[in-house]
Amino acid sequence: MSEQQRLESTTPTGQGPRQRSGVAAILEAATSWSLIPILAVLTGFIISAIFIVVTDPAVWAAWDEITTRPGFFFATAWRSVATAFGALFQGAFGSPYALSESLVTSTPYIFAGLAVAVGFRAGLFNIGAEGQLFMGALASVYVGYAVTGLPAFIHLPLAILAGMAAGAIWAGIPGWLKARTGAHEVVNTIMLNYIAYRLSDWLLNGPMKRPGPDGRPGWVPITPEVLPTAWLPRFFDEPLRLHWGFVLALLAAVGVWYLLFRTNFGFEMRSVGTNPKAARVAGMRVALVTVAAMAISGALAAMAGVSQTLGVDRWLGQGFSAGYGFDSIALALLGKSHPAGVVAAALLFGFLRSGATRMQSAAGIPIDIITIVQALVIIFIAAEALIRKIYRLKPAAERTQEVFTRGWGSA
C-alpha cells in the first residue's frame, strides 16, 4: 500500500488524521474542562487539612513527644483531620435531613452563580448580585403577604415574577448606564448594593415591619409572614425543607444553557462579551445586549432571594443573606461561566456550608475552615498555571473556542 493510500484509508477524506468518535471526544473535552477545578478543590482540602492540624491542641500536645513517639504524633494528626472531614461529610450527606439541607443551601447558590455567569458571558462583571438578591426578596415577600384573596396558582407565580422584576430593574439600571454613558458596571453595581442594604433596613424598620400583638409595629425588624398561597411547596414533611425552588434552579440552568448556546440572542451575548467592537461592526445591538444581559442576570440573582424567602424562611429579616451574592462570583469562576459548571460548583459550596455546621459542633473545628477551603479553591482556579506546575500537567493547549477578551470569567 502506498503512503497516499495509507493516509486515505485512515482519514475520511484524506485531508487529516482520523477523527475520534463522538463519545471519546466528549469524554476528552469533559476531562480537560473539569480537571483543573477538581485538582483545585483537592488542593484546597489538602491545605485546609494542614490548618486543621496546626490549630488542634491535641496535635500540639503530641508534638512534644515526637522525638520519643513519632507514630503517636502522626496518628493524632491523622485522627484530627479524619474527624473534621468525617463530620463535614456526615453533615452534608450523612442523613436525609443533612442531604436536604445541603440541597436547600445550594439552591440560592445556583441562581446567584448563574446570574454572574450570564454577565461574564456578555463581558459584564455583575458584582451587584447581593443587592439584586435583596430587592428580589423584598418584592416577593411584599406580594406574598400584602396581596390577599388569590389562589396559590396565581399568588405564587405573581410573587416570583415580582421578585424577578425587581432584580431585573435593579440590575438593568447599571446596564443602561453602561450602554448609554459607558459608566463601569462594577462601580455602579457596588453602589446599588449599598442602596439596597439601606433601603431594606428602612423598609424592615418601617413600612414592612411586622406588627406586634397590639397592632402597632413590633420591635423586631422582620416582615409579616408570607401567606401559604405564596409558599414554594416542599417535597417532604418537617423537618425536611427541600422545596421546589431547587427544581426551579435546575430548570433555570437548563434555560440559561439554551439561551446562551441555542439562540441567536445568546450568540449575540457571547459575541459582545468576546469583542464588542467586532460585534458592533457585524451589526449586533451592543447596547440592547448589554442592558438585557444585566436584566437577565439581575432576575436570576433575585431568584436566589425569592427561593430563600418563599421556600425556606417565609418571611424576611434584616441582613437575611448569607453572602450568596458575593459567593456567586466564585461560583461563576469555578464553573467557568457554564451553567453545568455553575450547578456543580453551587452543589459543592452548598455541601461545604451545610456540612460545616456539623464539623463545628461534632469536631470542634471552626466553621471558618470552610471559608479557607472556598478561598483556596478560587485562588487555584485563578492560578491555573500553579496547579499545572504542582501536579506536573502539560501546559494548556492554545484554545480555539471563544474567550472573554475583556477580562472576566475566562472559559
User: Looking at the predicted structure, is the pLDDT value of residue 64 above 70?
Assistant: yes
Query: What is the rounded average pLDDT of the residues 268-282?
Result: 93
Q: Average pLDDT in the 290-295 region?
A: 96
pLDDT tens string 198-230: 999 999 998 998 887 766 666 788 999 999 999
Average pLDDT of the segment spanning 264-290: 93
Calculate mean pLDDT across residues 132-143.
96
Amino acid type, 55: T
Sign of CA dihedral 266, 267, 270, 273: negative
Neighbours of 364 (CB within 10 A): 14
Does residue 174 have a cis bond before it (omega within 30 degrees)? no
- pLDDT(400) > 60: no
Give per-residue pLDDT as tens, 4-14.
444 444 444 44
**Confidence at 397, pLDDT banded by 50, 70, 90:** low
Residue 134, pLDDT > 50, answer: yes
If pLDDT is split at 50, 70 and 90, which confidence band does 347 have? very high
Reported as half-sphere exposure (CB side, CA atoms, 13 A), residue 336 has a value of 16
Sign of the four-CA dihedral 337, 342, 344, 347 = positive
Average pLDDT over residues 82-105: 91
Report pLDDT digits (tens) over 99-132: 999 999 999 999 999 999 999 999 999 999 999 9
Structural domains of the chain, with CATH: 34-390 (1.10.3470)
Phi and psi dihedrals of 243, rounded to 5?
Answer: -130, 180
**Residue 27 is placed in which grid cell?**
469524554
- Mean pLDDT is lowest, of 2-6, 24-28, 332-336, for 2-6
248-271 tens-digit pLDDT = 999 999 999 999 999 999 999 999
Q: Rounded to the nearest 10 degrees, what angle do helices 286-308 and 96-121 cross at?
A: 170
Range with the largest mean pLDDT of 167-171, 334-338, 406-410: 167-171
Residue whose C-alpha cell reads 485563578 in the numeric block: 382
Alpha carbons 99 and 244: distance in angstroms, whole number:
15
**Average pLDDT of the segment spanning 11-36:** 54
Say if CB 239 and CB 92 are below 8 A apart.
no
